[in-house]
Amino acid sequence: MPTRDLSQPLDDDVTVYPGDPSVERHPAATHEDDGYRVTELRFGSHAGTHVDAPSHTEPDGRTIDQFDVGQFAFDARLVDCSDTNAREPIRPADLPFGTEVSALDAEMLVVRTGWDEFWGTDRYYDHPYLSREAAAQCADLGLHVAFDALSPDPSPSQTDRTGRTESSVDAEPEGVPAHRELLGSERFVVENLRGLDDLPEEFELRAYPLALDRGDGSPVRAVAVW
């Protein structure tokens, strides 16, 4: 079956959400000293390509280990929203539900913004986002949402070179309305996909989280199969 890797690399240049832990890798054992190589990994639960559990934004939300693993293989439907400008909303009319808002024959809507090309640059933070109404419509239709950008909500501006944020992180509950509409309805959100161009309109997206006890999310290897 044709397969495509939709994952950003976990290297020294990972773009993380402002305030999130950076991605670090340190030698823990080496061929020279130990006869084998092991690496200590340090990163946030939302580093790189990852899936959000409801508990990410919902205080009473379920954690990532409380779902059957089979739920993370999604019948996905791609929608191209790459004509949306920086920091502009994707609205219900941009989504493929038709005028009568009928359900898709899919479990997940994969929204292509094309913003993956800015990975590793300040512009990556200026991605389009999903309007609250569009997110609510997805949730009402039972759709999980995946995105080739940092977040379905607007992100704070890039941290400056001293590590301070230029604008404060607006993380009050009203600050992440698309997240809350989706995660509050037990719909997953997959972020930081890449390579959605030229994919078929329908495919299976596999995004199995690590078996993190009480996890609020997990890095994943996101794979498209069709």
For a copy of itself, the binding residues (CB under 8 A) are: 1, 3-5, 7-12, 17, 19-21, 25, 28-29, 31, 34-46, 48-49, 55-57, 59, 65, 68-70, 72-73, 169, 171-173, 175-176, 179, 206, 208-217, 219-221, 223
CB of 173 to a copy of itself, least distance (A): 6
CB atoms inside a 10 Å sphere around CB 118: 18
The least distance separating a copy of itself from the CB of residue 94, rounded to whole angstroms, comes to: 26
Distances (CA, A) of 11 to 119, 120, 127, 203: 12, 11, 21, 27
The minimum distance between CB 167 and a copy of itself, in angstroms, equals 15
E-strand spans in 114-187?
129-130, 144-147
Long-range contacts of 162-166 (CB under 8 A, 24+ apart): 165/18, 165/19
Buried b (16+ CB within 10 A) or exposed e, 130-167: bbbebbbbbbebebbbbbbbbbbbbbbbbbeeeeeeee
Closest distance of CB 225 from a copy of itself, Å: 8
Q: How far is the CB of 178 from a copy of itself (least distance, A)?
A: 13
Nearest CB to a copy of itself, comparing residues 39 and 121: 39
Residue 100 or 174: the one with the smaller Cβ distance to a copy of itself is 174
Q: Identify which of residues 40 and 83 has a Cβ nearer to a copy of itself in the complex.
A: 40
Instruction: State which residue, 35 or 163, has the beta carbon closest to a copy of itself.
Output: 35
Main-chain phi, psi angles of 2, to 5 degrees? -60, 135
* Nearest residue (CB) to a copy of itself, 95 versus 207: 207
